[in-house]
Structure 1
Amino acid sequence: MIRGLYEAHLPVSDLSRSIEFYQNIGLEMAHKSKGLAFFWIEKGKSWLGLWESEHVNAPNHPSLRHIAFQVDYQDMKKAKLWLKERGIDVHEAFGFQPISPIVLVNLPHSHAVIYFRDPDENQLEFICPLEIDTCSHTQNMYLDDWENRQ
């Protein structure tokens, strides 16, 4: 029955500024109307809705105002530089400084992740599955350390 996640939505305070930001990170405009814009994440499969609102400052918590974009492993390795080239800072997460992507362990899985924010402080994430159903290490670490583990 369920085949995937088709859409997610975020509140934004300035739609024009947010359109520029999301185009800057490579999303394609799918639809725009007064106070609303949709961007394709994967054309025909998933999109992101941005809703201009006065009520943007909801509490910042991972369960609210958070979108994770899947990227491949090679892109994850260069994600920090790619974001920096677009004027976007990576931020600290789970006690790790923003020096490189980190590997989050949710046994029996692990994912490489890197976090950043849009102009309204919505938390955005690039995520790359590393080990699904086969992860045996138990601690989060930087991706560089994960690559060099023995």
Structure 2
Amino acid sequence: MIKGLYEAHLPVRNLQRSIEFYLKLNLEIAYQSDQLVFFWIEKGKSWIGLWETAQVNIPYHASIRHIALTIDKDDMYQAKKWLEVRGIQVKTSFGFTSDNQPLVLPNNRQAHAAIYFDDPDGNSIEFISPLRLDVEEEFKMMSLEDWDLRGKQISAD
């Protein structure tokens, strides 16, 4: 019955400044009013709503001010440079500096590559790509580069 997530919403202080930021991510405006804009993530399938509000100053917590956008694993290595060209800095996450990202999240039984950055209001944005699903194996968080090297070593053994 459930096919996916259609929408997510984030609070922003200045709608125009946020529009400029999200346009840098190559997202298309689906709808706009005085205090709200929707951007297509995948046209006709999912979008994000940005609401101009004074309620932006609530403390950050991933449960209320975070979204993750899927990208292909093949694009993950270029994601940091792609963001930097647009003036968007990758942030330190889970003790991994931008130099060590993309990183691999060990959400056992799943593994995902991820890279993190903030929008102008400190909302956490993540690019994420599934690496494997439903595999029982414990491992520590590592860079995607180390993950790929590890995979080559395992296949050589």
Question: What TM-score comes out, normalization by structure 2 length?
Answer: 0.93
1:6-21 map, 5 Å: 6-21=6-21
Distance 1:101 1:41 in 2: 21
Seen in structure 2, the aligned counterparts of structure 1 residues 146 and 117 have a Cα distance that, compared at 3 Å, is same
C-alpha contact (below 8 Å) 1:10/1:49 kept by paired residues: yes
Identity %: 57
Letter in 2 for 1:109: Q
Distance 1:65 1:108 in 2: 25
Letter in 1 for 2:143: Y
* Residue matched to 2:121: 120
Letter in 2 for 1:107: N
* Residue matched to 2:26: 26
C-alpha contact (below 8 Å) 1:110/1:135 kept by paired residues: no
Q: Tell me the number of residue pairs that the alignment of Structure 1 and Structure 2 aligns.
A: 150
* Residue matched to 2:144: 143
Letter in 1 for 2:93: A
Q: Which has the higher helix share?
A: 2
Distance 1:32 1:19 in 2: 10
Distance 2:56 2:108 in 1: 34
Q: Deviations over 1:24-52 (max 9, x none)?
A: 11110000011000000000000000000
Unaligned runs of 5+ in 1: none
Question: What TM-score comes out, normalization by structure 1 length?
Answer: 0.97
Distance 1:32 1:120 in 2: 19
Unaligned runs of 5+ in 2: none
Larger radius of gyration: 2
**Cα drift, residue 135 of structure 1:** 5.3
**Stretches (4+) displaced over 3 A:** none
* Residue matched to 2:111: 110
* Residue matched to 2:83: 83
1:67 matches 2:67? yes
Deviates more, 1:64-73 or 1:134-143: 134-143
Measured on the aligned residues, the alpha-carbon RMSD in Å equals 0.9
**Cα drift, residue 136 of structure 1:** 2.4
* Residue matched to 1:101: 102
